[in-house]
Structure 1
């Protein structure tokens, strides 16, 4: 993966969420996946914080879009690894977020780790 491919994935992913287009969102994900997010238990979808089927991921995103009607993401940066990318963005309620995507051979996200800042700004060092 190169920087251009990573930015294309990120731009399309952000645009799909901002359009609240569930079909376009799900197009970024593999059929077999592991999706980890602290929002999964917060939204009472399950206690484990992990989703392992695309069908459940669809139900989770439906719940998320219904819960956060004004959902809008702002892209800040994209980081490239080996078959991975990390998207740094502003998420729901102006919370900073970083999601790490491991892609399969078809360029679909197969393992996803979602991370969210606990506060809206970086705490100052003592």
Structure 2
């Protein structure tokens, strides 16, 4: 994926989240996806923050959207790697965050959500 493709993907990714359309969000993920998130550790009992499989990820994000009706992402920067990208963004509260996404055959097979702090 080149930088232009990565930027287009990131903008579509954010637009999906901003629409709160779970079907649209899920189109980017492979059935065997593994996703890691500190928020998942708080929302999903016994998960240790690791969500395995598309149905579990869908359920996690459905709950996240339910709990955050004002959720909104603004892409700040996009970084390209060998088989993945990093999307640096701010959420609706202004908190910085990043998603590290690994692709195979055009779909995300691994993801990791990270949260930043306004403090340096």
TM-score range, shorter chain: over 0.9
Tell me if structure 1 keeps the 8 A contact 2:44–2:60: no
The size of the alignment, in residue pairs, is 120
Which residue of 1 is the match for residue 119 of structure 2? Answer: 122
Distance in 2 between the 1:100 and 1:23 partners? 21
Residue aligning to 2:54: 54
For the pair 1:113 / 2:105, whether they are aligned, the reply is: no
Offset of residue 43 of structure 1:
2.0
Q: Structure 1 unaligned runs (5+)?
A: none
1:113, distance to aligned residue in structure 2 (A): 1.1
Q: Return the TM-score normalized by structure 2.
A: 0.94
Cα separation, 1, equivalents of 2:92 and 2:62: 15
Q: Any idea what the Cα deviations from partners look like across 1:79-106, whole Å, max 9, x if unmatched?
A: 000011000000253221011100011x
The equivalent residue for 2:101 is: 101
- What are the ranges of 5 or more consecutive residues in structure 2 without an aligned counterpart? none
Correspondence 1:72-91 to 2 at 5 A: 72-91=72-91
Between the aligned partners of 1:46 and 1:57, the Cα distance in structure 2 is: 14
* Residues 45 and 60 in structure 1, CA contact (< 8 A), matched pair in contact too: no
Greater Rg, structure 1 or structure 2? 1
How far the C-alpha of 1:47 sits from its partner, in A, is: 3.5
Runs of 4+ in 1 over 6 A off after TM superposition: none
